[in-house]
Structure 1
Amino acid sequence: MGRIFEVRKSTMFARWDKMAKQFTRIGKEIDIAVKQGGPDPNNNSALRRCIINAKAVNMPKDRVEAAIKRAMGKDKTDYHEMLYEGYAPHGVALLVETATDNPTRTVANVRMHFNKAHGSLGTSGSVAFTFNHVGEFKIKNNKLDIEELELELIDFGLEEIGEDIEGNIVIRTPFNEFGHMSKALEDKGIEVITAELTRIPVNTIELSEDQANEVLKLVDNLEQDDDVQKVYHNLK
């Protein structure tokens, strides 16, 4: 009985850790969005996107409001967005997006994670070309006709449309069409679950289970770093 409790407790703490990490990531995104476009989501599309994603991970409204106020305050933290590129073991490409108030600390930590995993941190441009930078929207499939929706959105930068394993509709656009698509979905009254800028690998690499676990361990260690926002890889 004690063992079952320990497993449940471990799972519970893991869920809390994941939630805390999500809240921290979105808090930094809110900070950056407010500094770039102001605190009014009606006039700041990046902030609207942050608020949508905050709802998706059940981030309390008061925490969102506190993050906005903090970004406007005199004692606000000055975050810098930095992108690191490199290779995990077995030639898997990695992109690491960070938001940091101390780039020197962040690059040292990222390099340490790569070195410990026998990977290598590369120079700017060494890996990014192997990923497409796209906008991705997930919307509720409230009995929508996907083919009809595709025709409606084609003029707003639609590049791909399909369904995920949960039955939600996933829409992808080129990076520079993200704002157009966001406005189109809003104008059409379509409920957006998440709206993100993401990176999709052009090609993927297939590895054995043991090799893949080595790569995923590095990805997990990077994701646990407080300065890291997202990690992308081309592991199949």
Structure 2
Amino acid sequence: MSGHSKWHNIQAKKGKADAKRGKIFTKIGKELIMAARNGSSPDTNAKLRDVIAKAKANNMPQDTITRAIKKGAGELAGVNYEEIVYEGYAPGGVAVIVNVVTDNKNRSAGNVRHAYTKYGGNMGSSGCVSFMFQKKGELVIEKTDELDEDEVMMMALDAGAEDFASEDEVFVVTTTPEDFGTVREALESNGIEFLEADIKLIPDMYTAVDEETAVKIQKMLDALEEDDDVQDVYHNAEFPEGFEE
């Protein structure tokens, strides 16, 4: 079945870069705080269950998870965060969406706008590119000798997954946002562990760019991802084959 390998490869490299910079726990911590506002029990808060699964897939310590949940639920003192989405274009007409969780809206808006314009892009109005993306759940499973591809595929599809793809080193299971938790829990109950477990934005189509434009876009993406307020950056660039992101 078809997958989203181009998009996944970009996201996987981004994830590795985040971890290398030591920011991934901070970002997931913010997600846990936001999710826990609607209840601190994962039994009754589906969003919190999903973020906890993401935290565990990234090897986040249990005490760190618990502390973030308590902050979100008001049991511990914490920062008052708000979520903001910025949209716009990178060089070459590439669509870029930036998800921010911040305690200072003005600071975040200024930083994001600066990153767009400095590298030849421009920030647009709300909705200007989001129609080009679909929200999907994605579960990434490392291939091992113990896992049979057909069995994992049938488990995923029987649980309600939309798609299953076999890539070089991983299986990628795609779901609707609504079915993400159900599919994740079904696979977990069968002993499946995840390298990634998250709901993300996947572009409907990609915009091919040349090497020179790709370099400019990558600089812009790096600047955005290095911002402490930025949670996720999504884009629809199709980089030239062999381009090092």
Distance apart, 1:75 and its partner CA: 2.8
Residues 19 and 57, structure 1, Cα contact 8 Å, conserved in 2: no
CA separation of 1:81/1:160 partners in 2, compared to 1, >3 Å: closer, same or farther? same
In structure 1, distance between residues paired with 2:70 and 2:98: 28
**Which of 227, 230, 242 is 1:228 aligned to?**
230
Alignment of 1:99-110 (within 5 A): 99-110=101-112
For 2:113, the aligned partner's letter is R
Distance apart, 1:46 and its partner CA: 2.7
Distance apart, 1:169 and its partner CA: 1.6
In structure 1, distance between residues paired with 2:155 and 2:57: 25
What corresponds to 2:36 in structure 1? 34
What corresponds to 1:114 in structure 2? 116
For 1:169, the aligned partner's letter is F
Distance apart, 1:158 and its partner CA: 1.4
User: Per the alignment, in what secondary structure is the counterpart of residue 125 of structure 1?
Assistant: coil
What corresponds to 2:10 in structure 1? none
CA separation of 1:179/1:52 partners in 2, compared to 1, >3 Å: closer, same or farther? closer
Larger mean Cα displacement after TM superposition, 61-70 or 195-204: 61-70
What corresponds to 2:22 in structure 1? 20
**Which of 197, 200, 203 is 1:201 aligned to?**
203
Distance apart, 1:63 and its partner CA: 2.2
CA separation of 1:62/1:224 partners in 2, compared to 1, >3 Å: closer, same or farther? same
In structure 1, distance between residues paired with 2:59 and 2:221: 24
What corresponds to 1:61 in structure 2? 62
CA separation of 1:56/1:19 partners in 2, compared to 1, >3 Å: closer, same or farther? farther
Residues 150 and 158, structure 1, Cα contact 8 Å, conserved in 2: no
User: Per the alignment, in what secondary structure is the counterpart of residue 161 of structure 2?
Assistant: coil
CA separation of 1:19/1:42 partners in 2, compared to 1, >3 Å: closer, same or farther? farther
What corresponds to 1:171 in structure 2? 173
Q: Which structure has the bigger radius of gyration?
A: 1
The gaps in structure 1 that reach 5 residues or longer are 1-13
Aligned residues: 221
- State the TM-score, normalizing by the size of structure 1: 0.83
What corresponds to 1:147 in structure 2? 150
Distance apart, 1:155 and its partner CA: 4.5
In structure 2, distance between residues paired with 1:234 and 1:16: 19
User: Per the alignment, in what secondary structure is the counterpart of residue 195 of structure 2?
Assistant: strand
For 1:45, the aligned partner's letter is A
1:138 counterpart = 2:140: yes
Query: Which gives a bigger RCO, structure 1 or 2 (Cα 8 Å, sep 6+)?
Result: 2
Larger mean Cα displacement after TM superposition, 100-109 or 179-188: 179-188
Deviations 1:20-79 (A, max 9, x none): 21111011011011112x223344333333333333333333322222232233532222
**Which of 172, 184, 187 is 2:186 aligned to?**
184
In structure 1, distance between residues paired with 2:142 and 2:225: 28
What corresponds to 1:158 in structure 2? 161
Residues 52 and 193, structure 1, Cα contact 8 Å, conserved in 2: no
For 2:171, the aligned partner's letter is I
Deviations 1:199-228 (A, max 9, x none): 111111222212101001000000011110
- State the TM-score, normalizing by the size of structure 2: 0.80
Larger mean Cα displacement after TM superposition, 223-232 or 103-112: 103-112
In structure 1, distance between residues paired with 2:228 and 2:163: 33
In structure 1, distance between residues paired with 2:18 and 2:91: 30
Deviations 1:169-203 (A, max 9, x none): 21001223223322322343432332101111111
Distance apart, 1:17 and its partner CA: 7.3
CA separation of 1:191/1:15 partners in 2, compared to 1, >3 Å: closer, same or farther? closer
Distance apart, 1:95 and its partner CA: 0.7
Distance apart, 1:19 and its partner CA: 4.4
What corresponds to 1:95 in structure 2? 97
